[in-house]
Amino acid sequence: QIDSDWLCLDDEAYPEVLRKLPFAPPVLFFRGDPARMAGLSLAVVGARRCTMMGIEIAESFSRFAVGSNFVVVSGMARGIDQAAHRGARGRTIAVLGQGLASPMSASRRGCLGRILKAGGLVLSEFLPHLPASRWTFPQRNRIIAGLSRSVLVVEATRRSGALITARHALEYGRDVLAVPGHPGQPLAQGCLKLLREGARMVASRSDLEDALGVAGVIPTAHGNLLDGHPCGV
């Protein structure tokens, strides 16, 4: 059993960025600190089956965003999502495609516990015991996009759910950012598609600095791993 609180659409504390969306969730169930929804947010999303480089990029960019006073939003799936949450170290929001009390894998349960212990927030629009399904994940992606000022896609195939999040972001007037990859790699195809359609390329921390409109470079555990270095190219 997992206890949770909730916000209704007409509550004063309900996030205004979601209230303005078409089909705004009428109820948000949550655990953790709802104040995480009050500031600037960057969504960092991508493939579940990703590369080690993708994981390093997601963690490094998330640390940079947090150091620049952004909150990192993602979906707590394995791969890029969980790497983004790790990099954010508590300044993060996880949006679930299932109820907060429904069964989940040990990996996701561990990620949820670490987010809450570090002072983050876990959200769901679904009733607590509703299990994940093929339709709940695309539905939750609109919340990830809606909470965020920009959506950054790190690695994605052409059929990745991350592209659904990017499409919602465009519909809501958010910026879409994409990390380029080698054109021969399947995990690069989704990002390259976004770039061809007008997404902003983020191939280094300085690119992300420009995209977010922040000044100064925030040091990370990887030093200058991504400064001025094309990601995966």
pLDDT by residue for the chain (233 residues), tens digit each?
445 699 999 998 899 999 998 889 999 999 999 999 998 999 999 999 999 999 999 999 999 999 999 999 999 999 999 999 999 999 999 999 999 999 999 989 999 999 999 999 999 999 999 999 889 998 999 999 999 999 999 999 998 999 999 999 999 999 999 999 888 899 999 999 999 999 999 999 999 999 998 865 444 333 333 443 334 32
pTM of the model: 0.89
Residue 171 sits at φ, ψ, to 5 deg, of -60, -30
Q: Between 52-67 and 80-88, two packed helices, what is the crossing angle to 10 degrees?
A: 30
Q: 131-170 b/e with 16+ CB inside 10 Å = b? A: ebeeebbeebbbbbbbbbbbbbbbbbbeebbbbbbbbbbb
> pLDDT value at position 116?
95
> pLDDT value at position 230?
38
Q: How far is CA 108 from CA 48, 118, 152, 207, in A?
A: 12, 15, 21, 30
